[in-house]
């Protein structure tokens, strides 16, 4: 069953989000787990190749076999934890709420107010993911079914939701790996735009296709009216919509 949520900003602009369902989230996690497993295999093969040399070095330093074994076990536990936690935190922070799996399926994580996810949001929701994964993601499924906003336990703790992005089509592997933003020259005066104004512009650009045309025009006009004085004459030939697209094209610098 599809679920939707509407978020209204302090500027009285409403953004409509279609929540990601269990099926799409499961597929995204499956893709991410596959990539994580491949990364783990690669790391462990490298460690196995290096083990004879490192063991010899450790013995030359006077370490006992028990101590060496304990160190090796600690390194394995640390590497596993880093791969399976750090992967999600790193990608969700750097890719604006997306991992490779989420990007392939066309979903992303955002904060409850529709704002981009922060580093701490990613850390909190994925620390809890460790416990959920240990229980076979059963608590996650129950929580997502019961929650009106399809939230798993990590989302409840971090104050995040998972929403559908625009359709993602892979036409070229290089394009898939590249940023979605078009290559355009940045406008002058961007440094004077506040983080809140930039976040609002980014939300409009990512959701404008979901708005009624008239509502989209009004929203773009309200947001652009606060930004135009800061970029000056360079934006005179741009419509409100094009101005906001241009501002968010390369991401926050």
Return d(Cα 84, Cα 32) in angstroms, integer: 9
Looking only at the bridges linking them, the beta strands covering 107-111 and 14-18 are: unpaired
DSSP-derived secondary structure letter, 112: T
Give the start-to-end residue ranges of the domains of the chain.
4-164, 190-248
Q: What is the pLDDT of residues 2-61, one digit of tens each?
A: 566 666 655 555 566 778 888 888 899 999 999 999 988 988 888 788 777 877 777 777
> Please, which pLDDT band fits residue 228 given cuts at 50, 70 and 90?
confident
pTM of the shown model: 0.61
CA distances from 35 to 28, 80, 84, 119 (A): 11, 13, 10, 21
Q: What is the mean pLDDT of residues 168-195?
A: 56
Q: What is the mean pLDDT of residues 131-135?
A: 83
Decide: 225 and 209 in contact? Cβ < 8 Å: no
CA distances from 156 to 15, 16, 68, 113 (A): 21, 20, 41, 13
Return d(Cα 253, Cα 195) in angstroms, integer: 11
């Amino acid at each position: 069953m599809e679920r939707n949520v509407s978020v209204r900003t302090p500027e009285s602009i409403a953004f409509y989000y279609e929540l990601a369902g269990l099926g799409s989230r499961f597929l995204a996690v499956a893709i991410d787990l596959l990539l994580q497993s491949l990364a783990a295999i690669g790391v462990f093969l490298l460690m196995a190749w290096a083990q004879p040399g490192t063991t010899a070095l450790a013995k030359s330093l006077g370490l006992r076999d028990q101590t060496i074994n304990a160190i090796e076990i600690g390194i394995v536990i640390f590497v596993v934890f880093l791969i399976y936690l750090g992967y999600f935190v790193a990608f969700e922070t750097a890719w604006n709420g997306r991992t490779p799996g989420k990007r392939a399926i066309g979903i992303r994580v955002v904060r409850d107010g529709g704002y981009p996810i922060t580093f701490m949001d990613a850390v909190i929701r994925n620390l809890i993911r460790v416990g959920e994964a240990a229980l076979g993601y059963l608590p996650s499924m129950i929580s997502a079914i019961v929650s009106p906003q399809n939230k798993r336990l990590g989302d409840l703790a971090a104050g995040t939701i998972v929403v559908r992005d625009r359709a993602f089509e892979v036409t070229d592997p290089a394009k898939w790996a590249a940023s979605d933003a078009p290559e355009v020259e940045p406008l002058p005066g961007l440094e004077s735009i506040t983080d809140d104004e930039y976040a609002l512009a980014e939300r409009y650009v990512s959701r404008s296709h979901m708005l009624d045309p008239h509502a989209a025009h009004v929203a773009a006009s309200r947001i652009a009216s606060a930004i135009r004085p800061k970029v000056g004459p360079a934006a005179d030939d741009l419509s409100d919509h094009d101005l906001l697209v241009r501002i968010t094209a390369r991401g926050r610098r």
